[in-house]
Amino acid sequence: MKVEVFIQDGTHVKPGDVAMVVEGKVQSLLQTERLMLNIMQRMSGIATMTNKYVKKLEGTKTRVLDTRKTTPGMRIMEKMAVKIGGGCNHRIGLFDMILLKDNHVDFAGGIHNAVSRAKEYCKAKGKDLKIELEVRNFDELNQALAEGVDRIMFDNFTPEDTRKAVEIVGGRCETESSGGITYDTMLPYAQAGVDFISFGALTHSVKGMDMSFKAC
């Protein structure tokens, strides 16, 4: 099929815009129509939603992060859509950063054990991976700082506690807020001074953009 593209990725659009014109056999057009629309609608929805979040945080230093809560088999494209929308990718998988969450800490028997094992793993395997640790309270925050991790995630903190936590960290590592934060509630977290806010909703609860593929 011959495809002529009029609108590139990342371009702002309005109702009635024509993204592309496709020429080819009728059977080929009909066979590919649904797959093409499904992908374009979903990825455009993700990029649009991400851009909406990014714009709301303009004027703060906080960046919008995605998560691994992606559609099976579609992660790379969904994370590309987040970047096109102006957001940042957290991790592509389990291989490019270590994130120690509550279950890791609890199964390991505490923060010290979890972080120590992660560092031992990196040393043994010759890997240079950042280590992020999720904390649930200020006691865990102080333990995390003592262990020397690269990023600390404040899980289900209030904006007030987030501000206090950022002050305690004092720039010694990166900071991230996560857990139940929405578009309507995110600004106070950004104003508290965190470096990142992560949103699973960017990829697991997005509404696809309305598109159609019409004969002409």
Q: Return the active site residues.
A: 34, 69, 101, 134, 155
Neighbours of 63 (CB within 10 A): 17
Helix (H, G, I), strand (E, B) or coil at 46: helix
Query: Measured between alpha carbons, how far is 174 from 8 in angstroms, rounded to an integer?
Result: 34
C-alpha count within 13 angstroms, C-beta hemisphere, residue 180? 6
Query: Measured between alpha carbons, how far is 2 from 83 in angstroms, rounded to an integer?
Result: 28
Helix (H, G, I), strand (E, B) or coil at 107: helix
Neighbours of 152 (CB within 10 A): 26
* 53 secondary structure, DSSP code: H
Q: What is the identity of the amino acid at 76?
A: I
> H helices of 57-200, where?
75-84, 102-108, 111-125, 138-147, 159-169, 187-191
Query: Measured between alpha carbons, how far is 62 from 95 in angstroms, rounded to an integer?
Result: 25
Q: Quick check: 85 and 54 in contact, CB under 8 A?
A: yes
